[in-house]
Structure 1
Amino acid sequence: MATERQATVSGGNMQHGRHPGIALAVITSAQLMIVLDATIVNIALPQIQKALGFSSTDLSWVLNAYTLTFGGLLLLGGRAGDILGRRRVFIFGIVLFSVASLLGGLAQSAEWLLLARALQGVGGAIASPTALSLVTTNFEEGPERNRAFGVFAAVSGAGAAIGLIAGGMLTSWLSWRWTLFVNVPIGIVLVLLTPRYIKESERHPGRFDIAGAVASTAGMSLLVYGFIRAADKGWSDTGTLLSFAGAVVLLAAFVLIERRSQQPITPLHLFRDRDRVGTYLMMLIMAAAMFGMFFFLTLFVQNVLGYSPLRAGFAFVPVTVAIGVTAQLASRIIPRTGPKILLVIGGILAASGLIWLAQISESSKYVTGLLLPMCIFGLGMGFIFVPVTIVALARVANKDSGAASGMLNAMQMVGGSLGLSVLVTVFGTASRNEAAVQVKRFLASATPDQLAVFQQTKQLPPPFSSHVLAHGISSAFVLAAILAVGALIVAAVVIRRNVPIEEPGTTPPPMA
């Protein structure tokens, strides 16, 4: 008994299978807290604008400051876990994220809040990839790990929707500041529980690839910024073009650095496996579609259907349920079906849901126009997240699992940022063109009083404004559907039919 007790508490380690429920709860709670922070402030943006004096253009940086630092530093966070120990790095990331959340909740100016959001992104980039790799450290290969991946994937996939729900509740019941304060008590609990229930990984001594980290972080950040700026300033803007040019140069330099580095931040041999490359592409594409769906439907239910922030948040509950149901189902049947068939089914469902949403108009009703296609999309995403996660980490040496999981997380966050920026550009262009048409129609039928209000505000009244918004959203969903079809093609063509899920540490097979 003494020996067993010593093995349990010594160094805070635990044996595989001991308190697996608590270990998984800690890991997934951290991931949920990090992922939902990409959307939890969405519904609170009008209140934040009034409180801190943001302009309409600058307000978007409340979201972008988080996603830029998160997506740009994920690779470094994954590598840090491999070198320093995943549990140790995980705890540091949670502490940093919690402190940044506290500072953000206390913000008294726009600049203060943006710095806090950027620091949140740094903490998330450190904690998130180590959270995923801790699943491989704490759960045995096989059904146990597959079930854990199922829960983790469901949480990751549903995080955006849960963030909208939580944002609506906290904003309506308390204030916008609590969308940030809520992370502090959660972070404290996680930091206290992690040393007791999470097993530390083996450390792999080495040095940080600083040059690679700087090049990849700066390159991805410039790429994200270029798309964000294009949505606001246009594709011919000098700043936009310079951002893209800088991104190309830095990312090309990153590849050259990694090829020559003895200890690269991203081992390029991870890309020799066509299945892993395919899952990275699928995550990049589907994250873009998912982030876009939540963003645009949040606008629609509040500005067209007239929902309150609280009701708008709860409007997305069915999507969360749909993702969770099929993620758990996928984790149970994947040993029999293999990942390919699940990815194809998920791609078909997700694309079908987006094609349906592309039919949205100002007369659309919640149940028939939004709920049903959202649920179809959610069912598809649940089938996609589990096999994507498993295949991305299969046949990866234990020393590289942090880098592999960091890349998967980077694909989700950067894909969401880039995709949303492109979709917003399509939305803005379509909306401006349709607004010109609707202005002519309004002027032809407006009363003198309506004309006076329009000349003062320069804003179309309903139903003209609702039509313009719905037309822009519909156009964005057309592109999102095209992206989903592209992901389906990747699943059908790139992913092999039977992918053996091997024990980490085996040598990756050559490309077929």
Structure 2
Amino acid sequence: MELSTVAAPRRSRRLALATLCAGALMAIVDETIVAVSLPAIQADLGFTQAGASWITSAYLIAFAGLLLLAGRLGDLVGRRRVFLAGLAGFTVSSVLCGLAWDPATLVVARFVQGIGAAAMTAVILGMIVTLFPQPGERARAVGAFSFVQASGGTIGMLIGGLVTEALSWNWIFFLNVPFGVLAFPLALSVLPQDQDTNTRQRLDTLGAVLVTGGLGTGIYAITRLEHDGGAATAALGVLAAALLGGFALRQRKATDPLLPLRLLRGRLVGASIALLLLVAAMFGFMFLTMLTMQRVLGFDARQAGFAMVPVSVVIAVLSLVVTPRLSMRFGERAVLATGLAGIAIGIALLANLPLDAGYVTHLLPAMTLMGAGMGLAMPTLMSLGMAETTPQDSGTASGLFSTTQQVGGALGLSSLLVVAATHTGDRLAEGTPERLALLDGYRLGYGIGTGLVIAALAVAVFLWSRPKPA
């Protein structure tokens, strides 16, 4: 499906962009907004320790597992339709989350909420590149979307703590309702109608089952890494790999594949790998830094949340204002390399934090550098990845980008925290004081995060060194 943008005036397209970004923000914020509220939810509804993890896992499994399917549905039945269905489902399920009266109700509602988030998010980038065909306008629009993607997690943790403390945990979900109620009629009026271009193509049902099962199983394995240990995670990982391998074989034989192989011959796949590595490092950084501030430096939850605000501010200024201009003047590749290098340096500084680190003298400079790097890297990476995508495949490409982002976030969060916790345990067993043992674990996590960003830079350099496919 293709959006009709011929007659769309500039003001209407800006309202459309604002509506799309609002949907993306709700979806990303709800990934992390429950993090600070989990103890209150657990006590109120009677969750067990293991059961409480499903409040997050149910959302992530549905969100990440269905992105690729939702993106392809957008190409087949209309990206506007898929976005509106996702927005409606997300809003209604948010009401159910806030009204949940027992653990099962909340987990089911969170799963449905993840389905709505996947439907909204999967098609947004494809709609943006179609709505804004001119390079300058597209750079600014992608910058706005990337700001939401990069800052949503931090915003979620800050809002979650403030709302839970001021009102109750129920309101972290009820907050979505007025935004959804306002955004739906606005989306109906400003998002251009879909034009049918793929009426002869059918959905690859078997491929959809295989990729959704594989991604969902993989995300579940990643999110359970800290709780289930190596053997259980390895078994789930093998199952996920088998399902995804079956999906790959299916795509070679399917008449109308869910993921057309032509998309994997261009630079989209390389950009997706770089995005996965970058997001893994950034999600790990976000949670490691929150833990460092609270468990090592003595910040409370509110102070730690506000301490992360400068990161979002710097990302906003760069991605919304500066990066589009720099990209037009110096080229997206140079801007991307500069941004990734800045992130790597920022995380490396955190990997060397002293035990008596100060916020202004140690944390803030590193966090500002990382925020600037993200504000440069995220928009340019998305633009480079989508540059060769045709309008007919932009929904699928958008879904692939969003999928790699969610997988990267879950992988970085779970693996880096497990590595940090394991190293801390080893140091405690050696008799190291607790604060120093914790900091040593977080330093190791930051060191691995630095390596992930360097790997992303290497992939990006290889990405643009290859000739464009014919």
TM-score band by shorter chain is: over 0.9
| Residue 418 of structure 1: aligned partner | 411
| Residue 336 of structure 1: aligned partner | 329
Superposed displacement of residue 33, structure 1: 0.9
| Residue 458 of structure 1: aligned partner | none
Tell me, what secondary structure is at the counterpart of 1:343? helix
1:100–1:117 Cα contact (<8 Å) kept: yes
Counterpart AA for 1:212:
G
Counterpart AA for 1:296:
L
Q: Which has the larger radius of gyration?
A: 1
| Residue 246 of structure 2: aligned partner | 253
Confirm whether residue 432 of structure 1 aligns to residue 392 of structure 2. Answer: no
Which segments of 5 or more consecutive residues in structure 1 lack a partner in the other structure? 1-10, 442-463, 500-507
Counterpart AA for 1:221:
G
Q: Select the residue among 314, 318, 324 that pairs with 2:316.
A: 324
Q: Distance in 1 between matches of 2:28 and 2:263?
A: 24
1:343–1:387 Cα contact (<8 Å) kept: yes
Q: Distance in 2 between matches of 1:385 and 1:170?
A: 29
Q: Select the residue among 115, 134, 138 that pairs with 1:122.
A: 115
Q: Distance in 1 between matches of 2:358 and 2:57?
A: 31
Superposed displacement of residue 210, structure 1: 1.3
Q: Select the residue among 437, 442, 461 that pairs with 1:473.
A: 442
For 1:213-362, list aligned pairs within 5 A. Answer: 213-235=208-230, 237=231, 239-273=232-266, 275-328=267-320, 329-362=322-355
Superposed displacement of residue 420, structure 1: 1.6
2:139–2:324 Cα contact (<8 Å) kept: yes
For 1:81-160, list aligned pairs within 5 A. Answer: 81-160=74-153
Counterpart AA for 1:335:
M
| Residue 461 of structure 1: aligned partner | none
Superposed displacement of residue 374, structure 1: 1.3
Cα deviation, 1:205-240, whole Å, max 9, x if unaligned, reads 2321111111111112222222333322322x2x22
Tell me, what secondary structure is at the counterpart of 1:38? helix
| Residue 20 of structure 2: aligned partner | 27
Superposed displacement of residue 41, structure 1: 1.4
Counterpart AA for 2:261:
L
Superposed displacement of residue 16, structure 1: 4.3
- Structure 1 runs (4+) deviating above 4 angstroms are 11-14
1:137–1:201 Cα contact (<8 Å) kept: no
Task: Let me know the Cα RMSD of the aligned residues.
Answer: 2.0
- Structure-2-length-normalised TM-score: 0.94
Instruction: Flag the 1:267–1:281 CA change in 2: closer, same or farther, 3 A.
Output: same
Counterpart AA for 2:286:
F
| Residue 379 of structure 2: aligned partner | 386
Q: Distance in 2 between matches of 1:437 and 1:308?
A: 28
Q: Distance in 2 between matches of 1:465 and 1:60?
A: 25
Superposed displacement of residue 476, structure 1: 1.1
Which segments of 5 or more consecutive residues in structure 2 lack a partner in the other structure? none
Aligned residues: 464
Superposed displacement of residue 310, structure 1: 2.7
2:297–2:356 Cα contact (<8 Å) kept: no
Q: Distance in 2 between matches of 1:12 and 1:338?
A: 26
Counterpart AA for 1:323:
I
Q: Distance in 1 between matches of 2:23 and 2:279?
A: 20
| Residue 367 of structure 1: aligned partner | 360
Superposed displacement of residue 71, structure 1: 0.8
Superposed displacement of residue 20, structure 1: 2.7
Q: Distance in 2 between matches of 1:59 and 1:295?
A: 18
- Structure-1-length-normalised TM-score: 0.86
